[in-house]
Structure 1
Amino acid sequence: MNYKKIEEILLDMVNIKSDTGTKLEKDIEKYIYKYISTFEYFKNNKNHYGRFDVNDEFERKVIWALVKGIGEETIVLLHHHDVVDSLDYGKFKKYAYSPKELKKQYKTLEFSQEIKEDLNSNKWYFGRGTADMKAGAAIQLEILKHYSEKINFNGNILLLSVPDEENLSIGMRKSIGLLNKLKDKFNLKYELLINSEPHTRKEKEVGTIYDGSVGKIMPIVYVKGFKSHIGEIFSGFNPLLILSKIAINIETNMDFSDSDLGEVSPPPTWIYLRDFKKNYDVSVPEAAGGYFSILPLKQTPKEILNKIKHICEITFKESINILNNNYKIYSKDNAILSWNPKVKFFNEIYKEAKVNGKEEFEKEYKELIKKLKEDIKKGKINIPNSNFILIKKVLEYTRSNDPIVVIGISPPYYPPVSNENLDVNKKISNIKEIINKKSKEFGESYDLKRYFMGISDLSYTSLIKGEEVVPYIEENTPIWNHIYEIDFENLKQLRIPVINIGPWGKDLHKMTERVYMTDVVNNTPKLIMEVVDKVLSF
């Protein structure tokens, strides 16, 4: 194993800009593919590696490579090759992709004591993508080469290098089908998937490994009010009244926080909240909306959506009561406003619109999606906000013009995964012991955490309680199968146990992002190979 080569690959890869959601990702893909093609093994087995097209506007590819040994037992090595952009580096942006030069520039700045110590040490490389996650990519590439040089070893090593992890994970979503195709073509049995995302530490000598990953779901709430002049406020219904109260009732609501296997996920927070007025006038907004993020460990979309609906129904009733109480004071009589609470899921109003609008509705809906798809490509609108436009169109074909709350889902969706939900063999369940036995060589130990909280591509390796996931996601995501999809049918078949073994990193997505080079060129590759050897029983 050429450990020094890992550092060389890391510097090469960091130097190649591969900003997520751009054509720049193609440059790093070319580097990885070219490097793999130099392996003697792949010169002799050209059908064992390739570029898998994800069929998007950026022409991005998944790079895959299979080192075939004896038997069907297979370890999958997974990493992503995209990075977030470098805008946060400000005037140092031009150095963000050159770790050695960046360190020189940073030594003139005032930082915290911890950052200063790391800058003055030769153990840390600073720069965009050093930790997240080109270090993990470099480690896995050299591990692949190591096993490609072995003769007649037991098992197989499959590497996947995917794009877009920092955005919508199209690379891994498309790899769901690829994994099943490769499994059938080469007669593989996936024993374990190893990701190498960086980990953080509270203590210098204690690292972290993960055998699961938190999920993510992003519900959207659209509130249609009833427009009126502000001088006749009680003849209308301001959607901001309901939406603001819904936001208050959901923000950091611990009913949405999961606890499982000693881990606790953070409660929800709103990412976007506003009315949809485009110009100033003296009337209340016609509609308003927002979306928020929930990170589940056990809760299914069915459970989450029903909780949201319950909150929205209560909030709607409370808002009507507020209006009625104030109207009584204002009008000086016991008159009651005629509003009735109405809360529906997107699939409910969509079915109603199809019945009412028939071919006309379906034609207009498809044309609107086509336009939105182009607008998203041109950067005129983002994916979450496109859902509001589609909901507005659907409501035009429902029979009622009354105020309503519509609940839907916006991409991306990440299912939570945990090895506890899978049948894993004894070797995999003892991975913590395997790693800690090996890490004694470095004077370190590792804690096992059951969920990686950073959200990751590990989510697309298995699907639990599919009946409470698939219909609720598919039917309540307005852009489903047009702009975004997940291959749930293939995902159900995978059920791959997972673990994340990555280097120590700090300040991910910040201008002080950095990776611990002792891990990169020594500790982490040795730990991964120890796990591979034990699982495949070398």
Structure 2
Amino acid sequence: MLDCREEILHLTKQFVQIESVVNTDGEKTLASSLYSIISSYHYFREHTDQVILQPTANDHMERYNVLAFIKGTKGQSNRTVILMGHLDTVDTFDFQHLQNEACSPEALMTRLQHEPLPPSVKAHLDSEDWLFGRGVLDMKSGLASHLYLLKYYANHPEELDGNLVFLAACDEEDSSHGVLSALAILKELQTKQGFDYAAAINADFVSPAFAGDENRYIYKGTVGKLLPTFLITGAETHVGSCFEGLDPNFIVSELTSQINYNPELCDEAYGEVTPPPVTLKQSDLKPTYTTQTALAAYVYYNFFTHSWSPKEVLEKLKTEAYIAFERAVTKLEQRFQQYGEKRGEAVSTLGWQPRVLTYNEMQELLIEEHGEAFIQHMQAFKNFLLQQEDLDTRLFSVYVVEEAWKWMKDKAPAIILFYSSLYSPRVDLSEENEKEAALLTAMEQAVIEVQPNYPHPIASRHFFPHISDMSFLAIRDSKEDIQAVIDNNPGWGTKHKVSYEDIRELNVPVINIGPYGMDAHKSLERVEMTYSFEIVPNLTKRVIELLGM
């Protein structure tokens, strides 16, 4: 067993003290610091071209990845393992009055001694085995563990039969510009250095799967993530004549009732179930207050997958949207009749009909109706939106759909379904694939060997339950599945693009062996040091060895 606790603790604190909140200059600062640390190692002073500070591509801001690679001297193998992690964190606003101490673990822990805390948190604080602070768990301790191993093999290349690549990516917490930019270098190393990628080991955080869960998990893949978005168009009317129109917010409320927390939309594979979809934003598109109902509204939902393709998700959600729309117009009709009864008036039916289209279906209809004039107009409109650098991909897509709708000849109320953000593919391992089977075997054997050194069970699961850069090293979706993403993302090719075919060409088997702790993305974020600073690096090292390196 490596005696690595104190050095990884030191590195973790060093990284945490550099506040590298996503989409801030802190990402650049930490990347620069990491690059300097690695460049100072004797191995990299002799191999300066093997440490790289890489600017991200197609990004609205300046930030960097840090990559480094070691060529082992033990043998002639081209087998290569990637040690990957991210250097950014979420913001520190949630620390409130303790925000100034959020990135200073010792100062924070001193202040927490005087705060009201749940008993379990207080017990962790009073122990000598838990470290608190923003990023200690997600995931600077994991990054520190990987850096320790990079340094170890830099000092002992004779123990390595093959190659080791270290990747510290920026922007994992938002749009994955980091790992998507790193694909180019990983492919270049594959071509120019002959690297044969046997595995990638991510070091993102792990936590209990349920209350009282004592397991420390290794993940054999990761959940997929989509952002299905709905633009709902209505029929505008004055509020004094509300039944003469159709309020899109009324339809949105039924849509959210149908989709939000719906267990029927949980995806199951290998006996593991995703959380159901949940609303991330819901709003109408009225720019100011008026006494007229809105013309349009939108909503988007988080949607996790284990086995469903983006194409299947569209089909499922189109059905759910139709059900919601039908329920909305039925309920509205009932209320209109009740309103008439109260007024002592005979009323006719309103006659609204459910109507649901995917973005691609609407596009095809509009191109058929308007041809090149529509295509050129929409391209010009997208170029106009691109000038607004602070406009995120989600709103960009909403505005594109809203603009396209103006060209519809039939403006009867409708729901338009599309994807408005990055698709993070689901990843798993199969024993039918030789490389994946070898990684599974190495992982399982490493756990058997290391487990006696730790009191809590080290268990494995198939899907890392959070969005992760692991999604961009391998892909299960067919080209047809990916085409459904491309055809139904209004920002594709302008505001947003991912080279999924580059991912398919790399197709690196990936697992997650990361630090253990609790309350990631919360003010009581903390990491257990024994597992994270001792067991994790030793497990990772043993997997590397058992892969024949």
Please say if residues 70 and 157 of structure 2, whose CA atoms lie closer than 8 Å, have aligned partners that are also in contact: no
Q: 1:452 aligns with which of 464, 477, 482?
A: 464
Q: What are the Cα deviations for residues 192-239 of structure 1, in whole angstroms up to 9, with x where unaligned?
A: 110111212466863111111111111111111111123333332222
Measure, in 2, the Cα distance between the counterparts of 1:352 and 1:466: 26
Deviating more after overlay: 3-12 vs 337-346: 337-346
> Partner of 1:398 in structure 2?
408
Question: Secondary structure at the residue paired with 1:101?
Answer: helix
Q: 2:309 aligns with which of 300, 316, 322?
A: 300
Q: 1:471 aligns with which of 467, 476, 483?
A: 483
Q: What are the Cα deviations for residues 392-439 of structure 1, in whole angstroms up to 9, with x where unaligned?
A: 101112222221110011213211110138614443222123213212
Question: Secondary structure at the residue paired with 1:228?
Answer: coil
Measure, in 2, the Cα distance between the counterparts of 1:66 and 1:433: 26
Query: 1:363 Cα shift?
Result: 4.4
Measure, in 2, the Cα distance between the counterparts of 1:484 and 1:464: 21
Deviating more after overlay: 382-391 vs 92-101: 382-391
Q: 1:400 to 1:127 in 2, by over 3 A?
A: same
Equivalence map 1:425-504=2 (5 Å): 425=435, 426-430=437-441, 431-504=443-516
Q: What are the Cα deviations for residues 367-407 of structure 1, in whole angstroms up to 9, with x where unaligned?
A: 433443443x34xx543233221111011122222211100
Q: 1:338 to 1:77 in 2, by over 3 A?
A: same
1:58 and 2:71 equivalent? no
Deviating more after overlay: 347-356 vs 401-410: 347-356
1:184 and 2:191 equivalent? yes
Question: Secondary structure at the residue paired with 2:537?
Answer: helix
Report the count of equivalent residues.
Answer: 534
Question: Secondary structure at the residue paired with 2:120?
Answer: helix
The two structures have a TM-score, normalised by structure 1, of 0.94
1:215 and 2:217 equivalent? no
Task: Give, as a single letter, the amino acid of the residue that structure 1 aligns with 2:100.
Answer: K
1:505 and 2:517 equivalent? yes
Equivalence map 1:144-163=2 (5 Å): 144-152=150-158, 153-163=160-170
Question: Secondary structure at the residue paired with 1:344?
Answer: strand
Q: 1:135 aligns with which of 141, 153, 162?
A: 141
Task: Give, as a single letter, the amino acid of the residue that structure 2 aligns with 1:59.
Answer: E
Q: What are the Cα deviations for residues 134-175 of structure 1, in whole angstroms up to 9, with x where unaligned?
A: 101111011011112224431111111100111111111222
> Partner of 2:130 in structure 1?
124
Question: Secondary structure at the residue paired with 1:58?
Answer: coil
Q: 1:319 to 1:86 in 2, by over 3 A?
A: closer
Please say if residues 424 and 497 of structure 1, whose CA atoms lie closer than 8 Å, have aligned partners that are also in contact: no
Q: 2:71 aligns with which of 56, 68, 71?
A: 68
Question: Secondary structure at the residue paired with 1:266?
Answer: coil
Deviating more after overlay: 439-448 vs 99-108: 439-448
> Partner of 2:114 in structure 1?
108
> Partner of 1:173 in structure 2?
180
1:86 and 2:99 equivalent? no
Query: 1:359 Cα shift?
Result: 5.0
% identical equivalent positions: 27
1:232 and 2:234 equivalent? no
Measure, in 2, the Cα distance between the counterparts of 1:454 and 1:59: 26
Measure, in 1, the Cα distance between the counterparts of 2:347 and 2:454: 78
Q: 1:318 to 1:102 in 2, by over 3 A?
A: closer
Q: What are the Cα deviations for residues 72-109 of structure 1, in whole angstroms up to 9, with x where unaligned?
A: 11111000000111111122211111111211121121
Task: Give, as a single letter, the amino acid of the residue that structure 2 aligns with 1:234.
Answer: F
Please say if residues 51 and 63 of structure 1, whose CA atoms lie closer than 8 Å, have aligned partners that are also in contact: yes
Measure, in 2, the Cα distance between the counterparts of 1:327 and 1:93: 52
Deviating more after overlay: 423-432 vs 485-494: 423-432
Query: 1:356 Cα shift?
Result: 4.5
Task: Give, as a single letter, the amino acid of the residue that structure 2 aligns with 1:106.
Answer: L
Q: 1:52 to 1:355 in 2, by over 3 A?
A: farther
Please say if residues 202 and 514 of structure 2, whose CA atoms lie closer than 8 Å, have aligned partners that are also in contact: yes
Measure, in 1, the Cα distance between the counterparts of 2:37 and 2:3: 15
Please say if residues 393 and 496 of structure 2, whose CA atoms lie closer than 8 Å, have aligned partners that are also in contact: no
Question: Secondary structure at the residue paired with 2:227?
Answer: strand
Query: 1:364 Cα shift?
Result: 4.0
Task: Give, as a single letter, the amino acid of the residue that structure 2 aligns with 1:278.
Answer: P
Please say if residues 366 and 408 of structure 2, whose CA atoms lie closer than 8 Å, have aligned partners that are also in contact: yes
> Partner of 2:259 in structure 1?
250
Please say if residues 396 and 495 of structure 2, whose CA atoms lie closer than 8 Å, have aligned partners that are also in contact: no
Please say if residues 411 and 477 of structure 1, whose CA atoms lie closer than 8 Å, have aligned partners that are also in contact: yes
Measure, in 2, the Cα distance between the counterparts of 1:169 and 1:306: 27
Please say if residues 436 and 445 of structure 1, whose CA atoms lie closer than 8 Å, have aligned partners that are also in contact: no
Consecutive unaligned residues of structure 2, counting only runs of 5 or more, are: none
Deviating more after overlay: 358-367 vs 223-232: 358-367
> Partner of 2:360 in structure 1?
347
Q: 2:398 aligns with which of 378, 381, 388?
A: 388
Measure, in 2, the Cα distance between the counterparts of 1:317 and 1:48: 60
Question: Secondary structure at the residue paired with 2:496?
Answer: coil
Q: 2:417 aligns with which of 400, 403, 407?
A: 407
Measure, in 1, the Cα distance between the counterparts of 2:216 and 2:516: 7
Q: 1:147 to 1:204 in 2, by over 3 A?
A: farther
> Partner of 1:423 in structure 2?
433
Please say if residues 205 and 443 of structure 1, whose CA atoms lie closer than 8 Å, have aligned partners that are also in contact: no
Q: CA RMSD in A?
A: 2.2
Measure, in 1, the Cα distance between the counterparts of 2:385 and 2:125: 46
Question: Secondary structure at the residue paired with 1:299?
Answer: coil
Q: 1:96 to 1:233 in 2, by over 3 A?
A: closer
Consecutive unaligned residues of structure 1, counting only runs of 5 or more, are: none
Please say if residues 13 and 105 of structure 2, whose CA atoms lie closer than 8 Å, have aligned partners that are also in contact: yes
Deviating more after overlay: 449-458 vs 203-212: 203-212
Question: Secondary structure at the residue paired with 1:294?
Answer: strand
Q: What are the Cα deviations for residues 255-277 of structure 1, in whole angstroms up to 9, with x where unaligned?
A: 21011112111111112222222
Question: Secondary structure at the residue paired with 1:499?
Answer: strand
Q: 1:457 to 1:333 in 2, by over 3 A?
A: same
Please say if residues 44 and 51 of structure 2, whose CA atoms lie closer than 8 Å, have aligned partners that are also in contact: yes
Measure, in 2, the Cα distance between the counterparts of 1:165 and 1:187: 28
Q: What are the Cα deviations for residues 48-95 of structure 1, in whole angstroms up to 9, with x where unaligned?
A: 221222132321112111111231111110000001111111222111
The two structures have a TM-score, normalised by structure 2, of 0.92
Please say if residues 21 and 88 of structure 2, whose CA atoms lie closer than 8 Å, have aligned partners that are also in contact: yes
